[in-house]
Chains A and B, each alone.
Chain A
Amino acid sequence: MKQQNLRHTTTRNAFFWGWVLILPTMVGLVILNIYPMIKTVYQSFCKTGDFGRGNIFIGTANYAKVFSDPVVWQATLNTFKYMIVEVPFSVIIALFFAVLLNKNIMGKSIYRTIFFLPMVAAPAAIAMVWRWLFNSQFGLINNVFHISTHWISDPSIAVYSIALIGIWSDIGYNMILFLAGLQEVPREYYEASSIDGTNGFQKFHYITVPMISPTIFFVLVTRIIAAMQVFDLIYMIMDRSNPALSKTQSLVYLFYQYSFVQKNFGYGSTIVVLLLMFIMVITVFQMFAQKKWVHYN
């Protein structure tokens, strides 16, 4: 009898303390993430006045406008272009370097630090430095290689220049994740395959990639979500007077323009909901696809 009572108290205690300890995170999540999300979706059905006062409910008028707006579809295309270039390259390059740095070479820690440094630098500082590097008249790239490409003002290549910066800053983060995944691969597999006579590339293809496929999957999902939300690079590097802006602005950039510069919160919220739909579809697709190529032990 007494034992049962004790167990009751302990479980109740554990239950209580469990909730107390996750309360801060729950509160933060609800206030900063869930409530704004619901409010934004609601906002997409409204029209706002000055300084956020006077919300008028207008139903799906914003959605009708969004689906027929060429600017929004161009921005969607821009965002996809950025994502298609940035994610694969940053993942492949990071994987390559992670495999190299997994071996016991000299100065391994220094290399790892150097690769990770871009993650530590402030995004504003990164944007400013690259903005100067890419300047067609006085920038370092054009002056060192004696070319005169308009990296960030030519409508056809500006979005890829921005993707280049994205790749450069993400390699470090991806690499750290891959290194962690690589540590998990048992050394015996490689030794066994050496006995069977495989070369480096075959080892990579048949052992490394399948063994770290959960990590690759995680990196792919999170990086795609982050790439679809690109904003700060475009905002800080390209001014309104830039001819390439219409072919580079992302959906989040459009959201910022409509919501905060033009104070049209309703339309901005609609764009964000549209982005949410895109990301959800892609992520769900990835979740289904994981059954095909991700090997969990």
Chain B
Amino acid sequence: MIWDSNQEPGIRKLIDDFTAKTGIRAEIQVVNWDNYWTLLSAGAEGGALPDVFWMHSNESQRYMSNNLLLDLTQRIKASTEVDPENYPADILGLYTYNGKYYAVPKDIDTIALWYNKKLFDEAGVAYPTADWTWDDAYEAAKKLTKADGSVYGYANVNTNNQAGWYNQIFDNGGYVISDDKKKSGMDDPKTIEGMQFMAKLINENLMPSPQVMTETGEDVLLESGKVAMTTQGSWMLAAFRDNEYTMANCDVAPLPKNAKTGRRVSIYNGLGWVVSAKTSRPDDAWKLVEYFGSKDAQLKQAQLGITMSAYKGTSNAWKNSVPQFNLQAYLDMQNDMVIRPYSRNTVKWENAINDCMLKAWTKELTMEEACKEAARQMNAILAEE
């Protein structure tokens, strides 16, 4: 079971290859992100998890500690295809519990800035370069936003934190959750300062209203020429590649850096393929997961432009999969990465923070008030963990 319908065709191809090799057939089920975890946990309680599914840092702790995942340590040791050396240690760490491995890493992802060349040309603004700071982005957004509201300079919906405003927080030296997972960093002065970029965009109406951004996704807004810039994760490549408008008019640049600290952070994360502890076919499921983690499949995943594969050394294949886009930007973002903030009950406090951010987006609260309220709620939730 997976949650990204953009990745489905590519994964389907990988499964077909696997079936050709081994004769074992597998079916994909796509459940979108908003419902994935609810459905999965309902299945977990009822004892009916899918055999193989995606795991994410938000939830991995809970699933591992509740013995819902098959322990893959022995199988990985015995395997010739999957060697822990070949994957980033951080990603493997997300899916390790009590020294045991529970997943085969699938991919890594970084964030970059997508922009609409046509709109930039019309407004006479120079394209984003690697030297851009967030202030440059703000100035450009001002010039690109049209007075009649037909075009906005930037778009970032309040719930898009990983590929959006989290990056500005860390650029400025702020943080979201402390390393010991006990305290929220949302009220740290550096965090609040980092969020001022979004505050300026909101207060000066350089982004579509939150009403519009909730009804229509940022990617759709980019694809229909309504916004000139938006930050998106590397997993969106397939969607932008398959859309005619973005193929013709858009390109990608590295995220702007912070003018004061010079940091250019990308939040990153990596998914893992896991097997249910109660699957009726553990050997077949392992074979599938092993295949997904093997060099061939990881290389193919990159070539098909599905995502940046976790296997070291496959990045170039991904970069070359769509030469029309400057995908080197995503690779460059790997120089300064921060793992996506998580804890045992990530979803609970993430939802709380996003709801507070919504109030800032609708100008009900100032950004500073929203951040402080978010920290208050998050600390209450962390105390219960």
> CB of A72 within 8 A of chain B?
no
Contact with B along A121-164 (1 / 0, CB 8 A): 00000000000000111100000000000101110000000000
A137 x B354 contact (CB < 8 A): no
Q: How many residues of B contact A (CB 8 A)?
A: 32
- Chain B residue nearest to A49 (CB atoms) is B66
B358 x A243 contact (CB < 8 A): yes
Which residues of the partner chain A approach B351 to less than 8 Å between Cβ atoms?
240, 261-262
> CB of B38 within 8 A of chain A?
yes
Give Cα A238 to B159, complex, Å: 13
Give Cα A260 to B362, complex, Å: 27
Give Cα A244 to B213, complex, Å: 12
Which of B212, B347, B355 touches A261 (beta carbons < 8 Å)?
B347
Which residues of the partner chain A approach B42 to less than 8 Å between Cβ atoms?
260
- Mark out the residues of chain B between 20 and 66 whose CB falls within 8 Å of any chain A CB in the assembled complex: 34, 37-38, 41-42, 44-45, 62, 65-66
B214 x A52 contact (CB < 8 A): no
Which of A53, A138, A243, A262 touches B214 (beta carbons < 8 Å)?
A243
B45 x A137 contact (CB < 8 A): no
A135 x B216 contact (CB < 8 A): yes
Give Cα A240 to B353, complex, Å: 12
18 sampled A-B residue pairs with Cβ under 8 A: A50-B62, A50-B65, A136-B211, A137-B212, A153-B210, A153-B214, A240-B34, A240-B159, A241-B159, A241-B210, A241-B354, A242-B214, A242-B215, A243-B210, A244-B211, A260-B38, A261-B38, A261-B351
Known A51-B44, A241-B358; 20 more pairs at CB < 8 Å: A51-B41, A51-B62, A135-B216, A136-B211, A136-B212, A137-B215, A138-B224, A150-B215, A153-B211, A239-B214, A240-B159, A241-B157, A241-B214, A241-B354, A243-B210, A243-B358, A243-B362, A260-B38, A260-B42, A261-B351
B59 CB to closest chain A CB, in angstroms? 11
Give Cα A154 to B212, complex, Å: 10
Contact with B along A30-52 (1 / 0, CB 8 A): 00000000000000000000111
B60 CB to closest chain A CB, in angstroms? 13
Q: Lowest 5 A-B CB distances belong to which pairs?
A: A153-B211, A242-B214, A241-B214, A241-B159, A150-B211
Give Cα A261 to B362, complex, Å: 24
- Mark out the residues of chain A between 234 and 271 whose CB falls within 8 Å of any chain B CB in the assembled complex: 238-244, 260-263
Given contact pairs A51-B45, A241-B358, A135 touches B210 in the complex (Cβ within 8 A): no
Given contact pairs A135-B216, A241-B213, A243-B362, A262 touches B348 in the complex (Cβ within 8 A): yes
- Mark out the residues of chain B between 312 and 341 whose CB falls within 8 Å of any chain A CB in the assembled complex: none
B216 x A137 contact (CB < 8 A): yes
A154 CB to closest chain B CB, in angstroms? 6
> CB of B295 within 8 A of chain A?
no
